[in-house]
Amino acid sequence: MMEALWEFERLKLFQFVRDHPEWSSSRLAEAVGHSLSWVKKWRQRFQRAKYLSLELFQSQSRAPKTHSKQLLPVVRNAILSLRDQLKDVYKRTVGSKTILYHLHRDSLLQQQAAFIPHSASTIWRILKEGGRIPTRIHEHHPVERPAPMEHWEMDFGQLADQIEFFTVVDRGTSILVDTQTDYHFNAETALLAVAKLFLFNDLPQKLRFDRDSRFLSSWAMDGYPSPLLRFLLCIGVEPDPTPPRRPDLKPFVERSVRTLKYECLWEAHPENPAKAEDILREYRYFYNHQRANQSSACQNRPPYEAFPNLPHRRSLPEAVNPDAWLDHYHRLLFKRRVGSNGMVSIDRNSYYIGTAYAGEPIIFQLDAHLHQFMAIHRSQVIKQFDIQGLYGEPIAFGQYLKLMLEEARSIDRQQALKSPR
């Protein structure tokens, strides 16, 4: 019964093709109510048909049209022997195509009228079965989990082009620590998001993130610490940026971005960041308290059920030493080229080397103990400069955050001027 219905549909398509030869496959598919691939397949069969008959509209057998020929043991042995022998001739391990070339010139096989394969994939299969191609073992190395709430990962996710969200996950417990939203984060709003994260969730020992320019951008983009890096070091959180193009080193937040996008925001279709913020806040509670988590740490339980007793964490300090980041970068080197006016720039500050060095490369080494830059030219220290922009004494956290936000804002303005319009 079903076959008769399909024959009728094919006959209907044939009539459309005959009466409207100018119609495209898409229009024919719309007319008969079938898929484009189905129309293309049967249209090709109609075109290849030499004469018209009822058999043309019947289903064709899906059985193989040809059957593979069996390889004799002597052919298999010849292939394996060529793999071993030709290594001395070519001074390398030969591949399937080279073996095929010599195999078809084997007089013994030709005398026996044995079937000799023509496909390189067949040769490869025989080499694999014969142990000439070793099987690669991909070992799984699970991520070593730190102690609960000590090491966090942060990243950005995006919903279409209108909403971007910021998410933070604990590496030790898979707890979704925080989510925030905006139309688009920049260096300033990213730093503000991190400050809000610490204000409401206290401080971890480490914070891992990728090399997003909003995290690592500085005026020179040459390794000089960005406002975010200095901010973290000054409040006692160790920055842990990943190497370039290694998202696998922050797997928990990568999975979190996908989960939040497709399990939460995609179905809700929030109109603006404010609505997305409310949706994510509700989902964060569900994620931590009710959603079964299959991670190795949670063992198919919600994170807060798997870790009911979390350790106490440090809160944000009331006062901050804004120069504390220097110790982390002691002896760090910066390469500069002296301008025609004898000046070089490090971060937003300028230092005078001298016009005699115009066009020459200069290495600056940071001395955290002396709070100085040593200018090195041809392996000799030619000048020493006090590092500009230092504060010399602790300041209130609110004042320090405001200063860092201003620096991040200036970097955003600088990048906006450099970017093409």
The CATH architecture that domain 151-306 belongs to is 2-Layer Sandwich (3.30)
- Token pair for 29: 């598919």
Sheet containing 151-159: order of strands: 176-182, 163-170, 151-159, 206-209, 238-241
Instruction: Give 192-244 as a DSSP string.
Output: HHHHHHHHHH-B-SEEEE---HHHH--SS-SSPPPHHHHHHHHHT-EEEEPPT
- Dist. CA 399–CA 390, nearest whole Å: 14
Question: How many Cα atoms occupy the beta-carbon half-sphere of 196 within 13 Å?
Answer: 13
pLDDT of residue 417: 77
Alpha-helix runs per DSSP H in 113-179: 120-129
Q: What is the pLDDT along the chain (421 residues), one digit of tens a residue?
A: 677 788 888 888 999 888 888 999 999 998 889 999 999 999 998 888 888 887 788 887 777 777 777 888 999 999 999 999 999 999 999 999 999 999 999 888 888 888 889 999 999 999 999 999 988 888 878 889 999 999 999 999 999 888 999 999 999 999 999 999 999 999 999 999 999 999 999 999 999 999 999 999 875 556 789 999 999 999 999 999 999 999 999 999 999 999 999 999 998 999 999 999 999 999 999 999 999 999 999 999 999 999 999 999 999 999 999 999 999 999 999 899 999 999 999 988 999 999 999 999 999 999 999 999 999 999 999 999 999 999 999 999 999 999 999 999 998 888 887 766 5
In one-letter notation, the amino acid at residue 293 is: N
Burial of 159 (0-12, 13-18, 19+ CB in 10 A): buried
Inter-residue contact 372 to 323 (CB < 8 Å) = no
The SS3 assignment for 130 reads coil
